[in-house]
Amino acid sequence: MDLEILRQMFIGIVCNLLIVDSGLNEGWSTPIIPKFEQDDPLNVPSDKVVWVVNLLYVGIGIGSVVPFLLMDRIGRKGTLLFATIPKIASWILIGVANTVPQLYVGRILAGIGCGITYAVIPMYLGEVSSKRSRGPLGTLMAVLMNTGMMLAYVIGLWVSRLTLSMIAVTIPLIFLVTFIWLPESSVFLTKKNKLTSAERTLKWALGKDDVVEELEEIKRIVATEDFEPGMTFERSLREMFARRENRRAFRIAMIVLSALTLTGAAPLLTYQSFIFEEAGYEISTNVSIVMTGCAIVLAGSVCVVLVRCTGKRLLLLIAAPICVLSLAAMAIFFGLKSSGYDVSQTRWVPSVFLLIYVLGYGLALNPIPLGYIGEIFHIDVKVPAAIFCSLYYAVTTTTLVKFYQVLQESYGTYMPITMFTVITFLIWLLIYRYVPETEGKTLEEIQIELRGKR
Q: Which residue has the higher pLDDT, 360 or 384?
A: 360
Q: Band the pLDDT of 237: cuts 50, 70, 90.
A: low
Residue (of 171, 62, 46, 182) closest to 118 by Cα position: 62
Average pLDDT of 271-296?
80
Q: Which residue has the higher pLDDT, 159 or 389?
A: 159
- pLDDT tens digit sequence for 346-372: 888 998 999 999 999 999 998 888 778
- pLDDT tens digit sequence for 288-323: 788 888 898 899 888 888 887 888 999 999 999 999
| Range from 153-162, 269-278, 368-377 that averages highest in pLDDT | 153-162
Q: What is the pLDDT of residue 138?
A: 67
- pLDDT tens digit sequence for 15-59: 889 999 999 999 998 889 888 878 888 888 877 888 898 899 899
Q: What is the pLDDT of residue 37?
A: 79
Q: What is the pLDDT of residue 321?
A: 97
Average pLDDT of 143-170?
91
Q: What is the pLDDT of residue 454?
A: 46
Q: Which residue has the higher pLDDT, 431 or 409?
A: 431
- pLDDT tens digit sequence for 165-223: 999 999 999 999 999 988 888 888 888 888 888 888 888 777 777 777 777 777 776 77
* Torsion sign over Cα 153, 158, 163, 166: negative
For the chain, give the mean pLDDT: 85
Percent of the chain with pLDDT over 70: 91
* Torsion sign over Cα 358, 393, 437, 321: positive
Residue 425: partners with Cβ closer than 8 Å, 6 or more residues away: 320, 324
Q: Band the pLDDT of 87: cuts 50, 70, 90.
A: very high
Q: What is the pLDDT of residue 162?
A: 94
Q: Does residue 227 have a pLDDT over 60?
A: no
Q: What is the pLDDT of residue 4?
A: 67
Pinpoint the alpha helices (H) of 224-271: 233-242, 244-261, 265-270
Q: Which residues of 192-228 are buried (b: 16+ CB within 10 A; e: fewer)?
A: beeeebbbebbbbbbeeeebeebbebbeebbeeeebe
Residue 402: partners with Cβ closer than 8 Å, 6 or more residues away: 50, 54
